[in-house]
Amino acid sequence: MGQRIINKPDLSGFLFLAMIINKVEDFIKEKNLILNGDKIVVGFSGGPDSVFLLYLLNNIRDKYNLEIVAVHINHLIREDDARRDEEFSREFASRLNIKFVSYKKDVISYAKEKGLSVEDAGRRIRYNVFNDEAKKLGPNAKIVVGHHKDDLVETIFLNFLRGSGSNGLIGIQEKNRNIIRPILCLEKSEIINFLKSNNISYVEDYTNLENDYRRNKIRNELIPYIKENFNPNITNTIRNMSNIIKDEQEFIEEYSNNLNLIKEVNNNICLNIEELKIQSRAIQRNLIIKAYEKINGNRKDLSFENIESILELIYKKNSSFEIKNYRIYNYNNNIIFSIKKKIKYKKIDYKINEKITFNDYIIKSEIVDNTGNLELNKNIAYFNTDILKGDLIIRSREIGDTIKLEGFTKKVKDIFIDKKINKYNRDLIPLIEFNNEILWIMGIRRSSLYKINKNMKKVVKISFERVING
């Protein structure tokens, strides 16, 4: 291995070569994957897919004026094989006169450190390195990787069986930001036949980290079973379906983006409920996913059921849904996606007429005439002027808090339970204390102390509003 890299191909090889190269070139043109003068980082493991890819790029290098760097990553798994693969790759690139760089990365340690599977760790390391190398080539450099049609179909099966929206049924895209996949139009068997017909060597794939258990089962059991029993042409069938769904998703994405409904306010992501309501279900779902993506970075972990629960919030005022460290809630005619903050215990001395902020409550107070026509809602409470005789305290709840009601005393905790206030909100809500008594669980329940009556000329009005800040 590695001795004769490229031999003079026989005639059938030549014809086959021309056909395959044409197919890929047509694909590149049709999908606009590579442009004249492109600077390209190629992921180059030395396995058949990447050997074919590099060979192909070398073939079109002059025509497109390409600048190519082949990047090899030694994952330090099975070190003997890995060293051999690295040497093979270096030599292959050198014979094609293509710039070669290699990195040694301890994927096992990285996986442990980050709590990732070895496959995910490997993928992340590779794309980090590719991106670094691409940056060195310039701002528009592309990353070219060797996924083929079988990879696409396996990925779609994985997503289909695991459960995913239609997005998962697109599988792998030939172009995704700066990553392109020019041989996605070829089947694995075409690649192998090509390499064999042309006597092009490659290393075996057994250090390939992508070969995880489920994917292997799909490749070696499920797809052969389906080819035999249902559809010998399943690869193309699935690829066609993937194309249809991709176009539909692009349309939905574009439509949804043009609505421009996702707003950012104080680090929260907001969707106006009135505008959300009039959209069709598919667009509502897309907007929920987009809003979540915006706060979380990706749509992973957002299940079908999660999305349904968030959509239900549209019709449930002041209710909320929690996922990971996010709180998503209906407030003030918006669905708000916010990062849950650890709410700290707070205790503040308060004087009437001050305006203060307590968590996301803005609290103010004043002495007003008792006109008999006082504004009444759950954001306002009135007390008699006896509370001016000492200091008010505004604070978070404490264990054992009680509140005096008409004729009896109740635990604050029980009131929270009765009102179905979740723990997060319990920490958020300010209590007003005077003389060691709780006067008001703001917005929830007023005590029976310091009540007002119509004979009083002046009363103390305390009120609040909430701002969206998570």
If the CB atoms of residues 80 and 254 are measured against a copy of itself, the closer one turns out to be 254
Listed as own residue / partner, the contacts of 284-293 with beta carbons closer than 8 Å and 24 or more positions apart are 284/311, 284/314, 285/165, 285/311, 286/252, 286/253, 286/256, 287/256, 287/259, 287/261, 287/262, 288/335, 289/165, 290/256, 290/262, 291/262, 291/335, 291/337, 292/326, 292/328, 292/337
Alpha carbon distance 270, 258 (integer Å): 16
* Helix and strand counts by DSSP (H, E) for the chain: 15, 22
Closest distance between a copy of itself and the C-beta of residue 149, in Å? 14
Closest distance between a copy of itself and the C-beta of residue 65, in Å? 29
- For residues 37-76, one letter each, b for 16 or more C-beta atoms within 10 angstroms of the residue's C-beta and e for the rest, the string is ebbbbbbbbbbbbbbbbbbbbbebbeebebbbbbbbbbbe
If the CB atoms of residues 238 and 415 are measured against a copy of itself, the closer one turns out to be 238
Closest distance between a copy of itself and the C-beta of residue 171, in Å? 13
CB 261 within 8 A of CB 273: no
If the CB atoms of residues 277 and 351 are measured against a copy of itself, the closer one turns out to be 277
If the CB atoms of residues 109 and 280 are measured against a copy of itself, the closer one turns out to be 280
If the CB atoms of residues 282 and 352 are measured against a copy of itself, the closer one turns out to be 282
Angle, helices 11-30 vs 188-197, to 10°: value is 140
Binding site for a copy of itself (CB under 8 A): 160-166, 169, 214, 217, 221-222, 225-226, 229-231, 234, 237-238, 240-241, 243-245, 247-248, 250-252, 254-255, 280-283, 285, 304-305
Sheet with 445-446: strands ordered across: 347-350, 392-395, 431-434, 437-441, 445-446
Burial classification of residue 217, based on how many CB atoms lie within 10 Å of its CB (0-12 exposed, 13-18 middle, 19 or more buried): middle
If the CB atoms of residues 206 and 251 are measured against a copy of itself, the closer one turns out to be 251
CB 143 within 8 A of CB 168: no
The DSSP-derived string for 328-379 is EEEETTEEEEEEPPPPPP-EEEE-TT--EEETTEEEEEEEEE--S----STT
Bridge partners, 411 (sequence order): 402
Residue type at position 384: N
If the CB atoms of residues 250 and 369 are measured against a copy of itself, the closer one turns out to be 250
Closest distance between a copy of itself and the C-beta of residue 34, in Å? 22
Closest distance between a copy of itself and the C-beta of residue 161, in Å? 4
Alpha carbon distance 198, 200 (integer Å): 5
Alpha carbon distance 156, 158 (integer Å): 5
Closest distance between a copy of itself and the C-beta of residue 283, in Å? 6
The beta-strand segments (E) located in 192-283 are: 262-265, 268-272
If the CB atoms of residues 7 and 216 are measured against a copy of itself, the closer one turns out to be 216
Closest distance between a copy of itself and the C-beta of residue 237, in Å? 4
If the CB atoms of residues 14 and 251 are measured against a copy of itself, the closer one turns out to be 251
If the CB atoms of residues 28 and 289 are measured against a copy of itself, the closer one turns out to be 289
Alpha carbon distance 19, 9 (integer Å): 14
Closest distance between a copy of itself and the C-beta of residue 325, in Å? 25
Name the token pair of 346: 């707070």
**Sequence-ordered list of residues with C-beta below 8 angstroms from that of 197, at least 6 positions apart, any chain:** 9, 10, 12, 13, 16, 17
CA angle 402, 407, 413 (to 5 degrees): 25
Residue showing tokens 């993928």: 123
If the CB atoms of residues 242 and 370 are measured against a copy of itself, the closer one turns out to be 242
If the CB atoms of residues 30 and 369 are measured against a copy of itself, the closer one turns out to be 30
